Amino acid sequence: MHIDTMRRIDRWAGIPLTFLLTRLITLRDRVRRPATRAPRNVLCIELSEMGATILAEPAMRKLRDRLGCELHFVIFAKNRPSLDILASVPADHIFTLREHGLLPLLTDTLRFLRWTRRRHIDTVIDLELFSRCTALLAGASGAAIRVGFDNFHGEGLYRGGLLTHRVLYNPHLHIAKNFVSLVNALLPGENTLPAAKMEVNDEEIRLPLVASAPEERALVRQSIHARAPFYDPNRHRLVLINPNASELLPQRRWMPERYVELIRRIVAEHDDLLVLVTGAPAEREEAEAMCARTGSDRCVNFAGALTLQQLPALYTLARLMVTNDSGPGHFAAVTRMPTFVLFGPETPALYGPLGNTTPIFAGLACSPCVSAANHRKTPCVDNRCLQAITVDQVFALVRPLLTASPA
């Protein structure tokens, strides 16, 4: 289902449905005793962004380690593999929703309502920023405790009154810290208005590093060799280029011709560097065209070559990665690989990866132009915020790492 169609459904169906469900749940909660037990079976809802599952890891870790909760997760089916990178949620505790059509989505929603009751879900944490769809899922889940972001007196999206623990979304705080604030609302004495009036420090949002096994790295090397038979792991260093971004916000893409020029400079200056252009299986054709334009056999189409679970092994082998603001920037944060992320419509101050990352951000007056308040939809069709970032600028940042010996 196209993202704009989903936005229209969220608006035109979401507003009346959240209004009606609020009235029903208000009546139900008047006769049902309030929850007195500590949260046990907790469901996190984050549907639309693969990178957000990595950013939510510190919050889920706190649920598991500090509160002793059993974690469950609901996510769109196409984004399900992102949960395998850190494997914080058991596979049989994950529910997927198909979003390629209205009928499958409705069918899966009915299945979801049965699933939450079979799982005895007592607490739901809605990680989405003001989605009416996820508010409805939380409200209808049967959970007595429902935590999410609320705009209180601010202008913004109407989501009904389905939350029992209302946390103020802080647009000046990194989203990972906002996610931890949702968990803090469950701590004793923190269900005030707004909930979770406590600090979230930098240490709380550190990600665990994923260690890849030797056999995993060997499989990655085999995959590289299959596409570049001349590849010699004892000679060639790897540089990764990820030129794509999700359809949710295509304005996040740096221009392909600039990636081509960057690759040309990299391979021209270092004859021991092999550049892999990464991406999803559906992006193979675009990656192939980019490699062809570089005119170098040391630029290899690697789109769709690996599963998401194999990416940490690839990142362990690589010298660095240059990427648009998209999922791979966040996936790389669970390794030590230096990552250079180009930002435009969004700001790294709020959405930057949590790892060894250098954000590249022009800081135009119009940027960032998307936020929780506008459903991450921008009228911009001319992303000058990324056009302002030059090849010279990016090459100057990565060049020292290409010249220096690996640590």
- pLDDT above 90 covers a percentage of the chain that reads 78
Contact between 181 and 196 under an 8 Å Cβ cutoff? The reply is: yes
Q: Which comes out higher in pLDDT, residue 30 or 267?
A: 267
Q: Is residue 9's pLDDT more than 70? A: yes
**Partners of 70 in the beta sheet?**
41
Q: In what order do the strands lie in the sheet with 94-97?
A: 94-97, 70-76, 41-45, 123-126, 145-150, 165-168
Q: Is residue 85's pLDDT more than 70? A: yes
Question: In the prediction, which pLDDT does 31 show?
Answer: 79
Question: In the prediction, which pLDDT does 7 show?
Answer: 78
Q: Is residue 407's pLDDT more than 70? A: no
Q: Identify the residue whose tokens are 């979003």.
A: 99
Question: In the prediction, which pLDDT does 371 show?
Answer: 77
Q: Which comes out higher in pLDDT, residue 248 or 314?
A: 314
- Residue among 131, 122, 315 at smallest CA distance from 207: 315
| Those residues with Cβ within 8 angstroms of residue 346's Cβ, 6 or more apart along the chain or in another chain | 249, 252, 325, 368, 370
Question: In the prediction, which pLDDT does 405 show?
Answer: 65
Q: What would the pLDDT profile of 114-142 be if each residue is shown by its tens digit? A: 999 999 999 999 999 878 999 999 999 99
DSSP 2: -
Q: Is residue 248's pLDDT more than 90? A: no
Contact between 284 and 303 under an 8 Å Cβ cutoff? The reply is: yes
Q: In a 3-state reduction of DSSP, which class is residue 240? A: strand
| Those residues with Cβ within 8 angstroms of residue 306's Cβ, 6 or more apart along the chain or in another chain | 220, 223, 314
Average pLDDT, the chain: 92
Contact between 308 and 326 under an 8 Å Cβ cutoff? The reply is: no
Burial of 173 (0-12, 13-18, 19+ CB in 10 A): middle
Q: Is residue 40's pLDDT more than 80? A: yes
Distance CA 168, CA 178 (A): 9
Which domains does the chain carry?
Answer: 3-205 (3.40.50.2000), 214-403 (3.40.50.2000)
Q: In what order do the strands lie in the sheet with 320-324?
A: 299-301, 273-277, 237-242, 320-324, 339-343, 357-361
Instruction: Give me the mean pLDDT over the 57-77 stretch.
Output: 97
Distance CA 249, CA 252 (A): 6
In degrees rounded to 5, what are phi and psi of residue 305?
-75, -25
Q: What would the pLDDT profile of 168-185 be if each residue is shown by its tens digit? A: 999 899 999 999 999 999
Instruction: Give me the mean pLDDT over the 1-17 stretch.
Output: 82
Q: Which comes out higher in pLDDT, residue 35 or 41?
A: 41
Confidence band for 84, pLDDT divided at 50, 70 and 90: very high
Q: What would the pLDDT profile of 321-373 be if each residue is shown by its tens digit? A: 999 999 999 999 999 999 999 999 999 999 999 999 999 999 999 999 987 76
Global confidence as pTM:
0.93
Question: In the prediction, which pLDDT does 210 show?
Answer: 93
CA atoms within 13 A on the CB side of 135: 30
Confidence band for 36, pLDDT divided at 50, 70 and 90: low
Distances (CA, A) of 349 to 175, 324, 335: 9, 15, 20
Q: Is residue 157's pLDDT more than 80? A: no
- Residue among 331, 342, 338, 343 at smallest CA distance from 357: 338
Question: Of all helices (H) and strands (E), which one includes residue 115?
Answer: helix 102-118
| Those residues with Cβ within 8 angstroms of residue 88's Cβ, 6 or more apart along the chain or in another chain | 57, 60, 61, 64, 71
Contact between 5 and 127 under an 8 Å Cβ cutoff? The reply is: no
| Those residues with Cβ within 8 angstroms of residue 105's Cβ, 6 or more apart along the chain or in another chain | 1, 97, 98, 99
Question: In the prediction, which pLDDT does 193 show?
Answer: 86
Q: In a 3-state reduction of DSSP, which class is residue 190? A: coil
Distances (CA, A) of 250 to 6, 110, 245: 16, 32, 6
Q: How does strand 299-301 pair with strand 320-324?
A: unpaired
Q: What would the pLDDT profile of 272-321 be if each residue is shown by its tens digit? A: 999 999 999 999 999 999 999 999 999 999 999 999 999 999 999 999 99
Between 35-44, 150-159, 309-318, the lowest mean confidence (pLDDT) is in 150-159
Q: Is residue 105's pLDDT more than 80? A: yes
Contact between 322 and 398 under an 8 Å Cβ cutoff? The reply is: yes
Between 56-60, 86-90, 272-276, 377-381, the lowest mean confidence (pLDDT) is in 377-381
Question: In the prediction, which pLDDT does 389 show?
Answer: 97
Question: Of all helices (H) and strands (E), which one includes residue 314?
Answer: helix 311-317
